[in-house]
Structure formats: structure tokens, C-alpha cells
Amino acid sequence: MNKKVLAAVMAFVMIFALAACGNSANDTYDYDLAEYIKVGSYTGLDVSYNEVAVTQEDIDAALASALKAAATAEKITTGTVAEGDAIIIDYKGTIDGEAFEGGTAAGQGLVVGSGSMIPGFEDQIVGKEIGSTFTIDVTFPEDYSAEELRSAKAQFEITVQSKQGELVTPEFNEEFIKNNSDFETAEEYMADLEKSVYQQKEDAELANVQNTIWTKIVDASEVISYPETELQKRIDQNKEYYQSYADQYGLEFAEFLQTYVGMTEEEFADYAKQQAEVICKQEMILYTIARNEKIEISSKEYDEGLLNMLKDEGFNSLDEFEKAYGKSFEEYAGKDNIMTTLLLDKVMDWLIKENVANMPE
């Protein structure tokens, strides 16, 4: 479910990324939108770009963050296990002497007392010697997710390998640079760090400019009515998104909503409709501007954009993605969604040129 799109940060993109239809891009709002929306002014908005500068404080903070991220926990191999300890264990579970699926693990991390294991499992580890092997008896809950294990009595042979001590933050020296970068000297590392900080601040300011422009346009635009087909499509996609999680948890939709979303089905229906209206309004604004200004995505731009999206996901080719997911990227993300995302990116470039006089090249 985790779909990254282009780096445009408008709420529209965040919401639109949830959608996953596979319709032809030519079907997207392929009709006169004038009877559905009155788009507000989208030029002469007088938005400013704040020049980016990197301070020593920024660099110091980035270095501290890098050092903290490289911190490792002290490995403790003596003593006993106490409530709240983060430990590493091996375990093998059996029922009537037979191993069962999912009952065996090696090098498993566990915070004792977190309740992540079945009742009675963690309690019986407290007080045990680190390095020791022992056997415990437990009973699976009556409502356990795996039906075949409900109320079953099981034994687990457990070995406590170690527990985690305090995090140790490394010093900034040659060893740190060697272990955490491709550089050899502190000068090279710091130069790259400063470059990264600048890029992050530049990206953040670009996002701010994009958000400001888009918010002004959306606020100035008025929906006359919502096109029924597109509105229902977005409602259905929203439900499908949450339904997929309900399926993963093995829950009925109503139970999932109540447990994990805190909504009834009626409340969710209202929420899904509101979200669909937000999406439809912004889609109609986007397509109206694109048509007014004759902004289109060529076949070449589409292919290049598709590959860029794949690279953002960590894939080098369409075949590589299809092997990993069992379907093409277009099937996975939806051609409509890909085309609209690329169009949004191109329209936003045009809007920036029209509205930001001091935007750097």
C-alpha cells in the first residue's frame, strides 16, 4: 500500500496516492468541466520564494542526527531479564510434541512486558538468566487470529541470547566516516553533508511555494456540482484502500473500522464522501488549468515519468517491478493516477513560473 509519487507535496497528491484504478487516462474528466467548477484566478498570485542558506547550526544539527542514527546498543550477555528489557531470544514452540507454523524463531527481538507475545509468554521470561535455555507452558487465547491454535496448550523452548543496554553514540572520526559513508576524509564528509542539508532546505522551500500556490487556487475556486461518476469512483477507491487493511488483519470491514479507525460504517461513509469531494475538486482544477493553458503529457514524458517513479520506488526497470509485485507498475498504480500525477507536476512548474518572480533557475 505504500505508493510514493512525485515530490509535489500538495494535500491533493497525498490523497490521490491512495487511489489505484486502472482506467485509461483518456477517460479522466474527458468532458466540459465548466458546469461543475468555477476555477479561481491562478496567475498574478504574488508568491515569493525565500532564498535558502545553510548555517553552521544546520550543519551541526545534521551531524548530530547522523551520529545518533549510527548509535548502537550495548550488548549485555550476563545478568537476568527484567520487565521492560529489550532482549534477543530464540524459541521453538510445540503442541503435543509437534512444531507448528509460526512457532519457531531465531534472533527475535522482544521488549519484555510489551504484550506482543501471547499471554503468559513474556511473564515467564522475567528473572531468567541471560544465556540460559528453559521451557515454558502457555495457552493460546480463545480469540487468537489463527483459528487452529485457539485455546491450544503449547510449550516453548526459549534461549535468551542477550539484552540491550544503553545506546552508544559514536564519535565523529575516521572510523565513523569509513563505516557510514563512501568518503575517506572529514572534509569530504562535511562537504557532502552541507550539500545534503542545502538540498533538504531547498526542497522544503519549493514544497512551501507549491503548497502556497495550490492552496490559493483551491480556496478561490468554487464547485458548482460534483460529477457523479468520478465522485463515486473516489469513494469506492477510498473504501477499497481500507478494505485491503481489513483483509490483512482478517477482520470484517465494520470491525476493522471500529477497532483501528474509530468509526462506524456510517461515519466512514461520510468521511469517504468528504475525501472524494476534496479529490474531485482538486482534480477538476488541475484539468481545467491544463486545458486552458494547453499543458499536456507527451508519450515521451509519460515514459520518462514512469521510469522516474520506478526509480523512486527502488526499481531499475518495469520488468523488475513486475517480478516483485506480480503485475505491471501501470496496473499497480493505475494509468489514470500516473498520468494525473505527471500532469500535476507539469502544471505546477507552469504555475511557479507564472506566480513566483524570484524563483531561482
The pLDDT tens digits of the residues spanning 260-313 come to: 999 999 999 999 999 999 999 999 999 999 999 999 999 999 999 999 998 988
**Pairwise CA distance, residues 353 & 347, whole Å:** 10
Q: Are 158 and 133 in contact (CB under 8 A)?
A: yes
Residue 224 in grid coordinates: 458548482
Q: Judging by beta carbons within 10 Å of its beta carbon (0-12, 13-18, 19+), is residue 250 exposed, middle or buried?
A: exposed
Closest CA to 143 of 119, 124, 167: 119
Report pLDDT for 27.
57
Average pLDDT over residues 66-83: 95
- Output DSSP code: residue 26: G
**Pairwise CA distance, residues 131 & 337, whole Å:** 53
Closest CA to 249 of 261, 266, 237: 261
In the predicted model, what is the mean pLDDT of the chain? 89
Report pLDDT for 312.
87
**Pairwise CA distance, residues 21 & 12, whole Å:** 16
The amino acid at residue 77 is T
Q: Judging by beta carbons within 10 Å of its beta carbon (0-12, 13-18, 19+), is residue 237 exposed, middle or buried?
A: buried
- For 97, phi and psi rounded to 5 degrees? 80, 0
- The set of long-range contacts for 189-193, using a CB threshold of 8 Å and a minimum separation of 24, is 190/59, 190/63, 193/59, 193/62, 193/63, 193/66
Q: Among the residues of the chain, which ranges form H helices?
A: 11-16, 56-69, 174-180, 186-220, 228-249, 253-256, 265-292, 299-312, 318-325, 329-333, 335-355
The pLDDT of residue 231 is above 50: yes
Mapped onto helix, strand or coil, the DSSP state of residue 75 is strand
Could you report the per-residue pLDDT of 10-49, keeping only the tens digit for each? 344 433 443 333 333 445 788 999 999 999 999 999 899 9
- The answer for residues whose C-beta is within 8 angstroms of residue 276's C-beta and 6 or more apart is 226, 231, 232, 234, 235, 238
Report pLDDT for 24.
37
**Pairwise CA distance, residues 233 & 19, whole Å:** 9
1 or 59, greater pLDDT: 59
Mapped onto helix, strand or coil, the DSSP state of residue 54 is coil
Q: Are 171 and 68 in contact (CB under 8 A)?
A: no
The amino acid at residue 193 is L
Could you report the per-residue pLDDT of 137-166, keeping only the tens digit for each? 999 999 998 889 999 999 999 999 999 999
Domains in the chain with CATH codes: 11-39+221-355 (1.10.3120), 73-168 (3.10.50.40)
Mapped onto helix, strand or coil, the DSSP state of residue 137 is strand
147 or 177, greater pLDDT: 177
Report pLDDT for 359.
85
- The 10 Å CB-count burial string (b at 16+, else e) for 96-119 is eeeebeebeeeeeebebeeeebbe
